[in-house]
Structure formats: structure tokens, C-alpha cells
Amino acid sequence: MASDFIIDEQGNARFDYAIRVSRKARYAKLLIKPYTGLEVVIPTRFPKKAIPGLIKQHTAWIERQLRKHQTQYAIPELPQEIFLAIDQSTTRLDDFDSADFDANIHGLRQWVRNRAWVILPGMLDRVSLSCGLDFQKVSIRSQKTRWGSCSSRGTISLNDQLLFVPAATAEYLMIHELCHTRHMNHSTKFWALVESHCADFRYHESVLNRAREHVPEWFQYSLSLRT
């Protein structure tokens, strides 16, 4: 991901922006990303020399959105403890090196990833055994939008942020993905299988739809540092 900046008429840098080339993009678009600001997404053949003109055309909108995001996404404070809803545990943290904020954030995220590897695979094994639905292997990822996935080869991917949701909802997510080992779609048969193992799946779907609200701000900030 490349980056650049726009110069105003007085020769001053107006604002920075990142450039992301996407093979899936059909046209150029402007995104305001939490904590990191303006991102310009362009198709592979879009001429980069046209980007400044695109930004100039939408400068007023960009500035409004950046002001709003500066208020909404202030750099978070480092936590003194971490609460994991999945097992109702609270862990006190040691003092941080205040000289390197991003390194501290990286260390916190790595701590979450390590805890996820301790907690989630064993839970998935238990849910798999209870449902009689097998899988091949498990992976743990940090994703911004998806809580889990199932590949055609039977690999279950789980989002480490599941640690911040209640255990019953995390187990539902695992049931959902395990059912994809039988039906790689969201057909009527798929949902019937899900319901046979989790009668209140609609409730847990609603919990997951709101669950990002319970992911700590420092963790969401850490995701914005990824390229």
C-alpha cells in the first residue's frame, strides 16, 4: 500500500492519503478509515496520476469526513486490564513503555492472539464432537468484518476477537461454520442444520451483528495499523 499527500495552493501539505490497488475494484473510490484517514482504492489499470484530480474534486467531502473521524476515532488509551467475555476472565497488565505506543498495541494484540490459540481450538473440538460435524484444521485470524469461515477443504478460521463475545455466541459461530462442512452455502438445508444444533441461532446472529461494539478500542486501533 503506497501513500502520498495533496499540496494546496500555498505549497503546504493539505492531507495525507494511502493508495490501495485492488483487483476486485471496478472503479476508484475514496474511503475514510478509522484512525488512519483517507484511503484511495483504485483498479489495477487506473492511472495514479489521476488521483490528485479525483481528490480535489471531492475535497469538501473528504475534509468533513476527516473532521468527523478525528473526533470519533481519537487514539485510544492503553488498558490497565483486559476482560474476556468468552470465559469471564480479567487479566491485569504490567506497565507499558510509554515511549513506543504502537509497540505496546502490537504486544496487546499478540497477547489476545495467544489467548485465542489457548481457548478457541479446544472449544471448537468440543462443539464439533457435540454436533458430530468434523473439520480438518483450525486457524486463528484477526479480521475486521468476518467472525469466522469454513473452506472447501474443511479448515475452520476463527476471529480472535471472539474472545470478546459471550461463550454461547462464540459456540454458535463455531456451529455455523461447522455446518458449512456439509453445506457450503446458506441454503434452506444449511439453516435447518444450524437450527438443529442451535435453536436460538437468530438471537446469536443478532449478538454478532452488534458484537464489534464490545471489541476494545485499542484492539480496533491495532487493526488499523495493519497494511
The pLDDT tens digits for 133-158 are 999 999 999 887 789 999 999 999 99
- Residue 59 confidence (pLDDT): 87
- What ranges do the domains of the chain cover? 2-72, 81-224
Q: How confident is the model at residue 32 (pLDDT cuts 50, 70, 90)?
A: confident
Is the distance from CB of 170 to CB of 212 less than 8 angstroms?
no
Per-residue pLDDT reduced to its tens digit, 189-205: 999 999 999 999 999 99
Q: Is the pLDDT confidence value at 2 over 50? A: no
Short-list 4, 9, 11, CA closest to 51: 4
Question: Measured between alpha carbons, how far is 87 from 47 in angstroms, rounded to an integer?
Answer: 50
Q: How confident is the model at residue 15 (pLDDT cuts 50, 70, 90)?
A: low
Q: Is the pLDDT confidence value at 94 over 60? A: yes
- Residue 129 confidence (pLDDT): 97
Instruction: Please state which CATH number belongs to domain 81-224.
Output: 3.30.2010.10
